[in-house]
Chain A
Amino acid sequence: MMHQTIRSGSPTVPDDRGVHLRLDGLSKRYGDAVAVAGLDLAVPKGELVALLGPSGCGKTTTLRMVAGLIKPTDGRIVVGGHDITLMPPYRRDMGLVFQSYALFPHMSVAKNVAFGLEMRSLPKAEIERRVKEALAMVRLEALAERKPRELSGGQQQRVALARALVIRPSILLLDEPLSNLDAKLRDEMRNEIRDIQQSLGITAVFVTHDQVEALSMCDKVVVMRGGKLEQVGTPVDVYEHPTTPFVASFVGRTNRLEGKAHGDGRVTIGSSEIRVPGRPGGMVEIMIRPHRMKLVETGSGEDVAAEGMNRAAGRLSRVTFIGDLLQYHVDVDGTEIVVEAASDHGRGFRTVGSTVTVLWRVEDTMVFGRSA
């Protein structure tokens, strides 16, 4: 990987149409530890892009470099054709929403929202009008004179959102904004943030470790691991066509098997054999989504090996009821496979210990070559 050194002086960069935010070989090292390693990314104007990954993957560091709160070791940050790598945060015109809200505790809600406008020395009347608008947008007009500590977590997060948006930033940055909210509120805020982002047509970068947030809210998902890009694509792409086993297992649930491919579409796993798409060879990792699999009782007549289907026989070791779903844990040759089925009024429980057959389509089998 070639590392570019930080360039300054030439503020303009050849324009690439439609790209609003571009990261060129962006890196951050702390001594020997690499937090972000040569990240290249282009965010088109008006898109909401998720940086998704486990903690420590460098997603927050990347966001903080874009905001100007961390100085990159290498690489460039380009916004609208201007190199802003060395620009201090207070000139960057970005709205940042923190996981911990970071509201000013000594100011009222209205004062919090007005802060960015006051820093821009706008006339008083305009500040008042825009604060009102912003608070109306997040439905908090009634709480304008309250102090942050008098608000609930969800209300505080909406103030933080209003405060970041009222300055009409060029880019909205969201650092795990929903992580401190409870599940129900999180769903609400997810839709709210998405609606506001779309109605304003603002370019936004959303850092999260929650694949549901990334998939449901964003135009594009950037999966990161160990400071590097693992895969960039639409939510459907990343979920349905993961390019690496890491993406397959991090985005959505998967069953993971290991086997030996014969180069003709057949893979031997333990004592059984399945078919996979393509003609891989050597040692392979097999991933199958639990909801793509079907459980049938052995000997029920449904378990015949149809064309284009894989089958595996096993023993039902556990059934978990999780409301909308039933999870069947099947022991196939000592490997546990999880099958998910929609729960129909609590029906569909099968006897634990019975012999069952798992069926899934060949095309739903994801295969990854094993380098080692």
Chain B
Amino acid sequence: MTAIAASMAPATPRLALGRTGTAIALLLPIAVINAIGFILPVLNLLRMSFNEALAGGGVREAFTLANWTGLFGDTFYVELIVNSITVSLGITLATLVVSYPIALYLHRSSGRWRTFLTVLVISPLLTSAVVRTYGWIALLAEQGPIVSTIAAMGFSPPRLMFNTTGVIIGLTEILMPYMILSLLAGFGRLDPRVEEAAMTLGAPPAKTFWRVILPLTLPGIALGCLLCFVLAVSSFITPKLLGGGRVFLLATEIYDQAIVTLNWPLAATLSMLVLIIFGAALGAYARVLRAID
């Protein structure tokens, strides 16, 4: 059988693609999908941002900078942009601080225990962000367990919901799995022997952390922060629900403009602005990576 197969092999026409050819052929389907599903709509959005908005949701084909100049001339929008970036950075930092110890512990554990913990860390992703946000509404509500416990201890009950605090708490928890997985992916350079070397050279645990562990985990930190920042800027449901209409962020404003006010050109302009912020974040990430190396 094998002899026959071998003798027949040269007869079948071979696709003379070569290495590069094969790579292009394999990449073609996703390239087509990306072109149709992502690049074209984004270009369309870019075009839309230069159109003129008419009252009542109409759009007139034009080429005007009115949307862009209007955006930066209006203090409401400038504040909105600054607020969005600050809140997202805050969420990213909070997520990093609470995720880092978990990721470090996971990195050091092994065997079945590690598998179990990893599943535990990822499991929140099995529930939709909407459900988890409603969970937080129940927990953070005025008569909820957290606020009433604080009140019972004799402190004046804080407002944890329908404000920026609520949005930060909710999004931090929702983004944690992404942060932990990114950190773990970037912890490859962390070798327990290197930590031991630092200790034998006289570095107490805290110094070992700041001088050795933290610098070696920077690639993971950068990756996790990039991912969580992007997700925080673009997240919409959690700020909408936990912000209670009182927290104004780019994503919620885009929704309002596109769906409620029906000002599509403005929504498109805001969307392009978010894309520019993402581009800046990617640029910062690349710079950080280069600095680490």
Contacts and interface: CB of A to CB of B under 8 A. Distances in A.
Nearest to B207: A119
A175 to B, nearest CB: 10
Nearest to B200: A96
Interface stretch (B33-41, B67-75, B187-195): B187-195
Interface in A84-115: 88-96, 98, 100, 102-106, 115
Given A115-B211, A119-B207, A102 B193 contact: yes
Contacts of B194: 102-105
Contact of B203 (A67, A106, A119): A119
B292 interface: yes
Nearest to A89: B199
A163 interface: yes
A104 B212 contact: yes
Contacts of A119: 201-203, 207
A69 B197 CA distance: 10
Interface string B27-70: 00000000000000000000000000000000000000000000
Contact of B201 (A69, A88, A100, A163): A163
> B196, B201, B202: which has the most chain A beta carbons within 10 Å?
B201
A68 interface: yes
B242 interface: no
A330 to B, nearest CB: 47
A41 B167 CA distance: 63
B198 interface: yes
Contact of A68 (B193, B200, B203, B216): B200
A102 B191 CA distance: 8
A343 to B, nearest CB: 42
B193 A90 contact: no
A120 interface: yes
A92 B189 CA distance: 27
A102 B189 CA distance: 11
Interface in A148-198: 163-164, 167
B201 A167 contact: yes
B89 to A, nearest CB: 25
A105 B215 CA distance: 10
Given A98-B193, A119-B203, A119-B207, A104 B198 contact: yes
A167 B201 CA distance: 8
B216 A106 contact: yes
B204 interface: yes
A93 B202 contact: yes
A116 interface: yes
B242 to A, nearest CB: 39
A98 B193 CA distance: 8
A68 B200 CA distance: 8
Contacts of B216: 104-106
Contacts of A102: 191, 193-194, 196-197
A163 B204 CA distance: 17
A91 B199 CA distance: 9
B200 A94 contact: yes
Contact of B189 (A90, A94, A96, A105): A105
B215 A106 contact: yes
A97 to B, nearest CB: 9
Contacts of A167: 201-202
B292 to A, nearest CB: 7
Contact of A89 (B189, B200, B207): B200
13 contacts: A67-B196, A68-B200, A90-B200, A90-B204, A95-B201, A96-B200, A102-B191, A104-B198, A106-B292, A116-B202, A119-B201, A119-B202, A164-B201
Given A69-B196, A104-B198, 16 more contacts: A67-B200, A88-B199, A88-B204, A89-B196, A90-B199, A91-B202, A98-B193, A98-B196, A100-B193, A104-B216, A106-B215, A106-B292, A115-B201, A115-B203, A119-B207, A167-B202
